[in-house]
Copies of this chain bind each other. A is one copy, B any other.
Amino acid sequence: MTRFKLTIEYDGGGFVGWQRQDNGPSIQQSLEDAVFRITGETVLVQGAGRTDAGVHALGQVAHVDVEKAIEAEKLKDAINYHLKPAPIAVLSSAVAPQDFHARFSATGRAYLYRIVNRRAPLTVDHGRAWLVNAALDSDAMHDAAQVLLGKHDFSTFRASLCQAQSPVKTLDRLSIHRVGEEIQVIAEARSFLHHMVRNIVGTLRLVGEGKWSKDDVREALEARDRTKGGPTAPPDGLYLTRVSY
C-alpha cells in the first residue's frame, strides 16, 4: 500500500463542493471514481480543505492510499485521463510517508479572493470572480483588515454550519491590493472556519464602500456574533491556492 500526495486544481463551478454528497457531483467523488477506474480499488481521497460549492482551487492537496503498484507520475497522468472532461486536474503527485495526512498534517492554508470592481457585467471572469459595482477603496479595506490579524475568536465570521471545535483561529496574513479593476484579497492561516474568508470579504466590502470604518470591523470581531458581521461573499471569487506542510 502506497500513500500518494496529490496537488489538485479545479473550477468549482459545476460541483457541490469538494466533499462527496448525495445531491450532485463533487471533486472528491470525481477523484475517487478516477482512481477506481485505474486500480479497481474503492479509495478515500482525503483533502486538506473542504471547499464549498462554486469555490475553486489552484493548489488543493489530498492524499490517497493505493494497493496497486504504480508510479506517482503514472498515477497523476492516469487520473487526469479518467477525469476528462471534468474541470479537475492533478498538477503533481508524489509518494508520501504513511503518516502524512493531507488535512491534519497541514500547517498553513492560503486563499485568494478575486473581486472585479466595475459596473459592466463579467464575461471571461464569469463564475471566477465577484462583481462589485460600487467603487471600492482597496487601501481602506487593507487597513481595516489588519485588525483581524493574529489570534481571535472569529465567531463573527463563522458559518452557522461550521463543525470546528473552536472558533479561535490565528490569521497570519490578510492583504488587499488592487490591480486595475481587480481587487485581490490574500488570506493565510493554519486553518480557517467554515465561510470565514467569504464572511471577511463580505465585511471588507462594506469598508471599501465607505459604509464601515476600521473600528466597525474591530467591534464586529469583538462581538463574536455572526449577526454583527457583513454578508457572505459569493463562492465565485474564492480560490484555495496553497496548502503548506
Contact = CB atoms under 8 A, between A and B. Distances in A.
Interface of A: 9-11, 56, 58, 76-77, 80, 83-84, 87-91, 118-124, 126, 128, 239
B126 A11 contact: yes
B121 A83 contact: yes
A9 B124 contact: yes
12 contacts: A9-B123, A10-B123, A11-B126, A56-B124, A76-B120, A80-B119, A80-B120, A87-B123, A89-B120, A89-B123, A90-B120, A91-B120
Contacts of A91: 118, 120
Nearest to A123: B87
Contacts of A10: 123-124
Give 4 closest A-B pairs by Cβ, nearest first. A89-B120, A87-B123, A11-B124, A89-B121
Contacts of A56: 123-124
Nearest to A126: B87
B11 A119 contact: no
Nearest to A90: B120
A88 B9 contact: no
Given A80-B120, A87-B122, A87-B124, 13 more contacts: A9-B124, A10-B123, A11-B123, A58-B124, A76-B120, A77-B119, A80-B119, A80-B121, A84-B121, A87-B123, A88-B123, A89-B123, A91-B120
A88 B121 CA distance: 8
Contacts of A90: 120
A90 B90 CA distance: 36
